[in-house]
Amino acid sequence: MRICIDATPLLLQSAGVKTYFHHWLENLRALESGDDILAFPWLDAAGELDHQGSQLGRLATMWRVAFVLGVNYGLLPGALKAALPRADVFHVSNQSRRPPDHIPLTATVHDVTCWLMPELHTRGNIRADHEFAERVLGKARGIIAVSDNTRRDAARLLGIPIERITTIYPGVASVYFDARPGAVPREMGLEKPYVLFVGTIEPRKNLDVLLDAWGQLPADIRDEFTLAVAGPRGWNSADVMKRLMDDRTHGVYLGYVPERKLPPLVAGASVLAYPSLYEGFGFPVAQAMAAGVPVVTSDVSSLPEVAGDGAAFVDPRSPAEVRSAIERFLTNEELRKETGARGKAIAEARYRWRDSARKSLEFFHKVISS
């Protein structure tokens, strides 16, 4: 079987979706199943995962992006059909606006926050997701959801028959399972033990509540521990960035951390604090669990499903609850160790990319044979 994956997200600035496609494509190819795993637009092999830019060189990226834009805006009629010779199925990303109609389509739903929480998105993102739902998800023969919660929400909000949606959990890069902090935290200026937040600085990640919670902790705890915030600036982040930069008691802003340094940074954390308002999956939570780090996260969306016994759950709109959960971990080393060990066991059993790739291949075979 010839399976073509739309890998356009690997050419763009992206976070969770890019992580998904990078490792998913890599592990599908590593299965050596006898199936041909192709990538559109023409990626035989992608470089190191880089959330800030393309994984290819500048020239290679420019002409591929130009081709995708030409297809999306109808300037290259028939070009996509010609570019996908003899593919048995095309797995479409949310970057495609005019999917081909000559082969079966599949797709992945990462989250449905543009329907649930439109106020937390730009108009461009909302328009793109609605077009993706109409032009791709409505026609797709089969759909992958990254969690059961996302599967249910997609069926309810988008009107997709739930039997067409299959839950396949993403994995966590294998390096997290054996990660050690080494010298990386000190290289980033973290001299004290730290509580870590990882994610794009944007309203949905709810960093304001985390900063409020941190400020409510007893002074002796804030003297002993640092709040470290890692992630690129996103949209509508000016106010929370001002809090971070103007008053160092709120935490240390590390900026975007390259992928190769993220596993040791995560592994060195005393706690991962992640009070997001909604996650389709929540890679930072699963990555921390794989590294044996206890997690404080929200009791909403997919997060209880993903974290299980590896986390303490809080109302993400309550600074007091977030503060209390962080304080319990920071004042009880045994609780940290026990929770971290439970989380690691869950991640070992559920979040391996090779298992995700194998189940995805079974999904493709089922779609084609149906």
Residue-range domain boundaries for the chain: 2-171+352-369, 174-350
User: Which alpha helices (H) appear in 138-226, and where do they start and end?
Assistant: 148-158, 184-187, 207-216, 219-224
pLDDT at 101: 83
Rg of the chain over CA atoms, in angstroms? 21
pLDDT at 56: 62
Contact between residue 48 and residue 260 where contact means Cβ atoms under 8 Å apart: yes
Q: What are phi and psi of 58, to 5 degrees?
A: -60, -50
- 3-state secondary structure (DSSP) of residue 94: coil
Contact between residue 91 and residue 5 where contact means Cβ atoms under 8 Å apart: yes
Cα separation, 80 vs 74, whole angstroms: 10
pLDDT at 343: 99
Class of domain 174-350: alpha beta
Contact between residue 296 and residue 342 where contact means Cβ atoms under 8 Å apart: no
In angstroms, the Cα distances linking 128 to 136, 221, 235 are: 11, 44, 16
CA 305 to chain centre: 15
Same fold, 2-171+352-369 and 174-350: yes
- Local confidence pLDDT in tens for the 370 residues of the chain: 999 998 888 887 667 788 999 999 999 999 988 999 988 876 665 566 665 566 666 666 675 777 777 676 665 667 677 777 688 999 998 877 778 888 999 999 999 999 999 999 999 889 989 999 998 999 999 999 999 999 999 999 999 999 999 999 999 999 999 999 999 999 999 999 999 999 999 999 999 999 999 999 999 999 999 999 999 999 899 999 999 888 666 789 999 999 999 999 999 999 999 999 999 999 999 999 999 999 999 999 999 999 999 999 999 999 999 999 999 999 999 999 999 999 999 999 999 999 999 999 999 999 999 8
Short-list 325, 345, 348, 322, CA closest to 335:
325
Q: Per CATH, which fold does 2-171+352-369 belong to?
A: Rossmann fold (3.40.50)
